[in-house]
Amino acid sequence: MPRKTGRQFFANPGPTNMPDSVLRAMDRPTIDFNDPEFTAVFDAGVAGLKRVLRTSGEVFLYTASGHGAWEATLVNLLSPGDAVLVIESGWFSAAWHEMAGKLGLHVQTVAADWRRGADMAAVEAALRADGGHGIKAVLAVHNETATGLALPLPDLRAAMDAAGHPALLLVDTISSLGSLEFRMEDWGIDGVVGGSQKGLMLPTGFSFTAVSPKAMQAHAGAGLARHYFDWSVMLRRPQRSFVGTVPVSLFYGLQESLRLIELEGLDQVIARHHRLAEATRRAVRAWSGNSGPQLYGLDPARLSDSVTTVLMPAGHDADAVRRTALDRFNVSLGGGLGKLQGQVFRIGHLGDLNEPMVLGTLGAVEMSLRLNGVPHGRGGVDAAMDWLAAA
Ligand code: PLP
């Protein structure tokens, strides 16, 4: 294989780029996770996570990827045969749905067109129809990484309140935390699932659930079998988390990534994600001329600021474009998941990213469209530059 020069432009929607200073912070000797020096780093990391989550409640952490936090959240809050309502958004809502079913929960769905996202009136209607309050939790993916659509969580909360339904609201923020605006307490969210490897700019390796007081009460009566993920077991551990070895190095990385986020300012981090996402969208809109690729999401208000999903014109293979981008230009794009494989590619623009990195990626995509004979409007990169130079 020919040597690839320069740095790879990593435009996958997770894991994401890690800042050099985060890499350096983790490059240190092992330390006992009960050493007071580590305890201080750990405690500061959890306090910082709470600031990013905008919560003062408990946070339980696991040495697991996001799937582990999904499972932990369900088994700690629910009992066999409980009903849950999944808000369909795409591949990841379907995977959480499947997990809930396998864990012995009775899963209902608010079906949604993946290109438009769920209708909040349908959520309210589904909850009103549940007069006996059999539904114990609503499961929603804040940012559907497969489709590039975000769910308006305050509207979801309002729909639950309008229905007067007491179900817990459980939200996956795996590809939104630290990238999109998110306010756990203000938005009345009871369980928040997050992971290390996206907006927090760390390696894959830990995930977590932030828990409201109402959810802690539900935990006391939850009957699903659990041990490794049991919050009650964790509360007796020195870290109030982790049944097992603590991923020590990651917390040195977290200390640094939180420092970077707070140095830039969380609001500025979110504004940067919006600026870079909008540049990407403007490029795709330019390419959509001449019957070219289009934005997958059809509702402009729901387009995600952390990932853009691009729908290819019929008869053209998204994976061929991705291969060209990787082989010729050393740019790594995300592929289509499940039924979208080959039909879409995904441009991740979350985490440690700046304007030239986004422009470089967009340039590689535009060249790859050309090299694969995909019809498209020219000038996507120009459209992105016009926006970035003005924004
Ligand atoms: N939820 C969302 C929104 C995701 O994007 C992902 C992974 O990309 C997951 C859940 C699953 O997380 P993990 O792959 O870390 O298990």
Cβ 65 under 6 angstroms from ligand 1: yes
Cβ 141 under 6 angstroms from ligand 1: yes
Give the distance (Å) from ligand 1 centre to CA of residue 246.
Answer: 21
Concatenating the DSSP letter of every residue in 125-150 gives: HHHHT-TT--EEEEEEESEETTTTEE
Write the pLDDT tens digit of every residue in 100-154: 999 999 999 999 999 999 999 999 999 999 999 999 999 999 999 999 999 999 9
Separation of alpha carbons 124 and 162, rounded Å: 7
Cβ 253 under 6 angstroms from ligand 1: no
What count of other Cβ atoms lies within 10 Å of the Cβ of residue 56?
A: 13
Spatial CA neighbour of 87 closest among 13, 149, 166:
149
Spatial CA neighbour of 139 closest among 102, 173, 179:
173
What count of other Cβ atoms lies within 10 Å of the Cβ of residue 260?
A: 15
Task: Tell me what pLDDT residue 297 has.
Answer: 98
Task: Tell me what pLDDT residue 2 has.
Answer: 80
Report residue 311 CA to chain centroid gap. Answer: 20
Residue type (1 letter), 377? G
Cβ 15 under 6 angstroms from ligand 1: no
Name the residue at shortest CA distance from atom 12 of ligand 1.
Answer: 66
Separation of alpha carbons 383 and 279, rounded Å: 7
Cβ 194 under 6 angstroms from ligand 1: no
Spatial CA neighbour of 169 closest among 194, 192, 143, 195:
192
Position in ligand 1 atom list of the atom nearest CA 70: 10
Separation of alpha carbons 1 and 139, rounded Å: 45
Position in ligand 1 atom list of the atom nearest CA 204: 15
Cβ 193 under 6 angstroms from ligand 1: no
Position in ligand 1 atom list of the atom nearest CA 145: 5
Which residues of the chain register pLDDT less than 50?
A: none
Answer whether 21's CB lies under 8 Å from 256's CB: yes
Q: Residues near 294 by Cβ (< 8 Å), separated by ≥ 6?
A: 284, 288, 310, 311
| pTM of the shown model | 0.98
Cβ 63 under 6 angstroms from ligand 1: no
Q: Which of 145, 153, 307 to mutate to test the pocket of ligand 1 (most atoms within 8 A of CB)?
A: 145
Give the distance (Å) from ligand 1 centre to CA of residue 387.
Answer: 30
Separation of alpha carbons 94 and 46, rounded Å: 30
Cβ 92 under 6 angstroms from ligand 1: yes
Cβ 335 under 6 angstroms from ligand 1: no
Cβ 66 under 6 angstroms from ligand 1: yes
Give the distance (Å) from ligand 1 centre to CA of residue 66.
Answer: 5
Position in ligand 1 atom list of the atom nearest CA 67: 16
Write the pLDDT tens digit of every residue in 67-109: 999 999 999 999 999 999 999 999 999 999 999 999 999 999 9
Q: Are strands 168-172 and 135-141 parallel, antiparallel or unpaired?
A: parallel
Q: Are strands 149-150 and 135-141 parallel, antiparallel or unpaired?
A: unpaired
Q: What is the DSSP letter of 70?
A: H
Give the distance (Å) from ligand 1 centre to CA of residue 197.
Answer: 9
Position in ligand 1 atom list of the atom nearest CA 142: 3
